[in-house]
Structure 1
Amino acid sequence: TIETHNFHKLAPSLARTYSLSSTSSRLPKSMLNQEEIHRYFNHLSGAKRIEFLYGLLHLCQPLELRYLGTCLEEIARKDYEYLYHAEQKTNHLSAQNVPLPSSSASSVSSSTNEQTNQQTDLLPDEKLDLTDQFTRAHAIVDIALLWAKNRACAIRLFRRLKASDSVKLVDMLLERDDLDERTMDEILIIFCLAANHPAFSFDMRTQMAQIFKELEKRQRKMK
């Protein structure tokens, strides 16, 4: 077939590009210590870990990304049952729902999306109380488990994060000397996740990134 012919023409080119990119700029062994990199990553704060990984992904070649995606899918299976109910709740689906057969799923997908959008519009955009540990924990879980194409829930999360006035809150806590390192780290994780999440639009990610940078400035004042 045409597709098979094109693949056989494309495959050597992809493999050659990958091979050249992985060998052309190798560092001397004395400059690169894998154990040190692992140790460095292991001691990073939560937000810095996300930034580090996100940066590495953008340095990967297409074949590497597809391979990593396959590996991640397999590794994530062990936590599937543990995170299933939280994932369904995060994405505004009933925790009691079971996966539908493909024929049934296609017939109800449009109506389900409409109901989800209506539900999201009706929910109040109350601000998140980022001084509360459980609220912060739930926010981290919600953003981490949010589906990439769930724009409706992303919009609501974005509005709630904006309404939290996190920069003003941190300024107030710093002024009162009432901001501990763990609270600051968790707030940074929330906005780092939001600034890089594909469910958020480019404009929303930009605004979250701006808030994240302002929060990082405040964190440096604590040291």
Structure 2
Amino acid sequence: MVCKEEVCGWFKDLSGAERIELFCSLLHMCVPIELRFIGSCLEDLARKDFIYLRDAEIKANDIAEIKKLTPDFTDEGTRSRTSFYLALLYSSNNACSHAMFELLSCLEPSLRGESAPCMDPVDSAFAEDVILILTMAANHPAFTFSQRQQLYKDLKTVEKLLQELSGKVSKIKCFM
């Protein structure tokens, strides 16, 4: 028997990327009526932050704002804005998702030092940010299927590379 409190405690201790990955996996297992109910609950929860996030949401869905992001992921501000924009990107915004995909395509080669100075993979905040960004993108419905496949492949490559380089990147824990 699974104890709800233990599962909630375990979930709370996961990183943001691990929570998103798990939550997306669980959503894919739901039937349509469950998804509609969950959507209603999410709408209600999101309503409280609507005013606060409205201006940021407009920026996140503006192609000019996305193109202002630089592929310099060594900059914490760039990583922060990228994850923030991914969180607020509309699922139907193909133009911005394409621009975001172009930006994210620079990430994996940069880690290898192929295009820009190699980033410091030992920094755990950097590693968590990169994994979060790629996890969000690989699961975001605004990206095409082939883009999500490529982003997922990049995510796994980056996880492996960061793990080899720093030994600090955690893997998603399995529970059954």
| Bin of the TM-score, shorter chain as denominator length | 0.7 to 0.9
Partner of 1:33: 3
1:138 matched to 2:81? The reply is: yes
Letter in 2 for 1:216: E
What is the CA-CA distance between 1:126 and the residue it aligns to? 7.0
Partner of 1:199: 142
Partner of 2:53: 83
Partner of 1:71: 41
Q: 2:128 aligns with which of 179, 185, 189?
A: 185
What is the CA-CA distance between 1:180 and the residue it aligns to? 0.8
Matches of 2:52 and 2:98 in 1, distance apart?
Answer: 26
Letter in 1 for 2:131: L
CA RMSD of the aligned region, Å?
2.3
The structure where helix makes up a greater share of residues is: 1
Contact preservation (8 Å) 2:87, 2:136: yes
Aligned length: 163
Matches of 2:83 and 2:33 in 1, distance apart?
Answer: 30
Contact preservation (8 Å) 2:69, 2:78: no
Structure 2 unaligned runs (5+)? 168-176
* Structure 1 residues 80 and 210: alpha-carbon distance in aligned structure 2, compared to 1, 3 A threshold: same
Determine helix, strand or coil for the equivalent of 1:76: helix
Partner of 2:93: 150
Matches of 1:125 and 1:140 in 2, distance apart?
Answer: 14
Letter in 2 for 1:217: K
Partner of 1:168: 112
Q: How much identity, in percent, do the aligned residues show?
A: 37
Q: Give structure 1 regions of 4+ aligned residues with deviation exceeding 3 angstroms.
A: 123-127, 169-174
Matches of 2:151 and 2:110 in 1, distance apart?
Answer: 11
Contact preservation (8 Å) 1:188, 1:216: yes
Q: Which structure has the larger Rg over C-alpha atoms?
A: 1
Letter in 2 for 1:191: L
Matches of 1:154 and 1:185 in 2, distance apart?
Answer: 22
Structure 1 unaligned runs (5+)? 1-28, 93-115
Letter in 2 for 1:168: R
Contact preservation (8 Å) 1:167, 1:211: no
Determine helix, strand or coil for the equivalent of 2:141: coil
Matches of 2:43 and 2:69 in 1, distance apart?
Answer: 34
Matches of 1:125 and 1:90 in 2, distance apart?
Answer: 11
Matches of 1:207 and 1:156 in 2, distance apart?
Answer: 15
